Structure 1
């Protein structure tokens, strides 16, 4: 449902949220290696995220990408809106109207499931997501993530 670009953006932001701050910036090469993403593609994505104030960056010998407090208050939904847009979320999930008419229960069940998940995307900040990961001792393996 999400594009590869959007998945890479989410993964890179989570990586930066866990491993960077204003005093410890990370270069695109390191992020690309860690999340196994093509570096040129990730560089363009990170610039788009910087332009939209989802990621911060600084230039120079000690420069790189990082998340500040304002960045961490953004939600996963903000990332999705920036990279993929929201058009596909405003349409029938099943793709066409006749399915809804033939199987309205299925359509409603899927709609409710998606609505719950999208509310999580909208309501959960990057900071709260990272905090949950740390509290639960959950390890996010960013390598090999292709769902």
Structure 2
């Protein structure tokens, strides 16, 4: 459903948020190890998030990536998804047809419209704060061991 870059971005943001709440900054090497993603690819994804001011990059010996604590409850999955993948997830055809619309619907059009609507609501209403809370309670994981 999401691109690989978007999946890594979501996992990275959860990890960065968790550490930011603990007052820690994390570097790309640590992030990629903790979310099981290629380091160079993770660095490119993080740069995109920095450019859109979703995450902060601090240079220097004590640098790394962080999110201001007061922003963690405000950052939704929809912000991350739109930063990395754009809004195509809300518009694309379920069968990948280029011209699927109300006038020329594919066989899945009406059902997929409902799925996209539910997905939008979930992404818009799920914050990093909620995801970090679930992670800290041990209800979820970022990496399978």
In structure 2, the CA distance between the partners of 1:63 and 1:22, relative to structure 1 (3 Å rule), is farther
Gaps of 5+ in 2: none
Give the direction of change, closer, same or farther, for the CA distance of 1:45–1:12 in structure 2 (3 Å limit).
Answer: same
Structure 1: stretches of 5+ with no match in the other structure: none
The Cα shift of 1:115 comes to 0.9
SS of 2:112's equivalent in the other structure is helix
In the TM superposition, 1:40-51 aligns within 5 A as 40-51=40-51
Partner of 1:24: 24
Q: Does 1:67 align with 2:72?
A: no
SS in 1 for 2:105: helix
Q: Structure 2-normalised TM-score? A: 0.81
Which protein is richer in helix relative to its size? 1
CA distance in 2, matches of 1:22, 1:67: 11
Please state how far the C-alpha of 1:110 moved relative to its aligned partner.
Answer: 2.5
Deviations 1:76-129 (A, max 9, x none): 11111111111342133233349836x4xx432232122112111012221233
Contact preservation (8 Å) 1:50, 1:56: yes
TM-score, length basis structure 1: 0.80
Contact 2:134 2:140 in 1 (8 A): no
RMSD: 2.4
Count of residues in correspondence between the two structures: 140
Equivalent residue for 2:113? 111
CA distance in 1, matches of 2:63, 2:46: 14
